[in-house]
Structure 1
C-alpha cells in the first residue's frame, strides 16, 4: 500500500466556516475523501493545522505555524512516503505574515526543496510531490476574518494569482500541480473556509490526478 502525506492548513484540517462551528466530519475532509476515492490502494495521512503558512512565522499564533520549520519533522515521522501533497498559501496572504501569492509560491518552492533534501540526505527514495493552489477568497460580512487577510479586495486579488504562480513553480521544479479553485469555492460566512461539500470536492478532484501520478 502506498502512503501519502497531505500537508496543509485549516482547509486540510476541515475547519468550519461557521464561527464556533464543529470541525467537518472525518469522512468529509478532503484527505479522507481522497483515500476513499483511491479504493483502498493508499493511506492518506492528514496533517492540517489552522493558520499554517508555507514558510513564514505568525507570532500571533499559539502553535508553530511555519510550514517550512515543521515539515522535516513530519517527513521523518511518517516515512516512507510515496507522495507529498502540499496545499498551503492562504495564510501567507495575511499582510502581517507575507501578503503575496507570489511570495507564497516561493515558500512552496522551499517546501519542495526541504522534502527532496530530507530524503536525499538519508539516501532514501524521494517521494513525488503535488503542489495544490488553494481555493480563492470571496466577499463576506465577517469583517474580522477578511480584514486579517488584508480586506476583500486584497484577498480576492492575491488568491486569484495562486494558480498561475504555483503552476510555474511546479513546472520549474518538476512536480505535479492541481488548482483547487477549479472544484471548490469558499463559504461567504467567512470568505475563506469551505463547507463540507466543497471540502469533499477537493478530495474528489485530486483522486484522478493522484491515481495517475502513482500509476494506480
Structure 2
C-alpha cells in the first residue's frame, strides 16, 4: 500500500540552514526528518525547502524563489498528497520587497488557496493544507551578517504576521498555527532555527498533523 505523503513547503528553515556553519544541518537534526521518524512508516515526509523562497514575491536578485509559481507543479509531482504544510513569510519581510505585514499574510493566504485547489489524485478532492507561521525574527538580526541584505524593519513585520494570517486563513477555512507560541529563532542571525528549534518544530508538526487528520480546529489550540 502506498504511503500517505506530506509535502513540507518552505524556505531555509525547512531546508535546514545552519547559521553556525553556513551549511545545512544533517538529516538527524532537520525537523522534516525528525517528523518522518515521529509519524512512522505509514507516512512519507517530503522536504520542499528552498533558501530565500517567498510566498508571492519575485526576487530581483535571485531567480526561482516565488512560491506561487512553483506550488502547483510541486504538489503535482508528488501527487497524491495527503497534506501540504506551508511555512513561509520570513523572506517576504525583506526591505527590497516593500511589503507590509498584512501584504505578506495576503500573499501566504493566496498561496495556500492555490495549494488547496490541486486535486489529490485522479478524481480526488483538493489537497489538505496547513499553514504554519514561522517564529518571529529577533530584532538583533540587523546586526548579524545577513542584516544588510535583509534590510530594515523585518522584525516588526514578522511580529504581526501571525495575527494577520490567522484572520485571513479563518475566512478561507484553512487550518493555521503560530509556531512562535512555543519556538524561537537562534541567537546567531535571529531568523533561523537552531538544532533545538528543529527538534521542537518536529514535535509541534507531529501534534499538528495528528490534529488536522483527526479534524481538530487547530486555530483554537493554545496547549501545544
Which TM-score applies when normalising by structure 2? 0.87
Is residue 129 from structure 1 mapped to residue 129 from structure 2 by the alignment? yes
Shift of residue 123, structure 1, vs aligned partner = 4.2
User: d(CA) in 2 for partners of 1:111 and 1:130?
Assistant: 11
Shift of residue 39, structure 1, vs aligned partner = 2.9
2:69 matched to which residue of 1?
Answer: 69
| Aligned partners of 1:184 and 1:199 also within 8 Å | no
Number of residues of Structure 1 aligned to a counterpart in Structure 2? 212
Q: Secondary structure at the match of 2:103?
A: helix
1:159 matched to which residue of 2?
Answer: 158
Greater relative CO (CA pairs within 8 A, separation 6+): 1
1:6 matched to which residue of 2?
Answer: 8
1:188 matched to which residue of 2?
Answer: 187
Structure 1 residue runs of 5 or longer lacking an equivalent are: none
User: d(CA) in 2 for partners of 1:209 and 1:98?
Assistant: 32
More off after superposition, 96-105 vs 8-17 = 96-105
User: d(CA) in 1 for partners of 2:182 and 2:147?
Assistant: 22
Structure 1, residues 47-66: CA drift from partner, whole Å, max 9, x if none? 000000001101211x4000
| Aligned partners of 2:95 and 2:154 also within 8 Å | no
Q: Secondary structure at the match of 2:23?
A: coil
Structure 1, residues 145-179: CA drift from partner, whole Å, max 9, x if none? 1233333xx22211111111111122111111111
* Structure 1 outlier segments of 4+, above 6 Å: none
More off after superposition, 188-197 vs 31-40 = 31-40
Structure 2 residue runs of 5 or longer lacking an equivalent are: 216-224
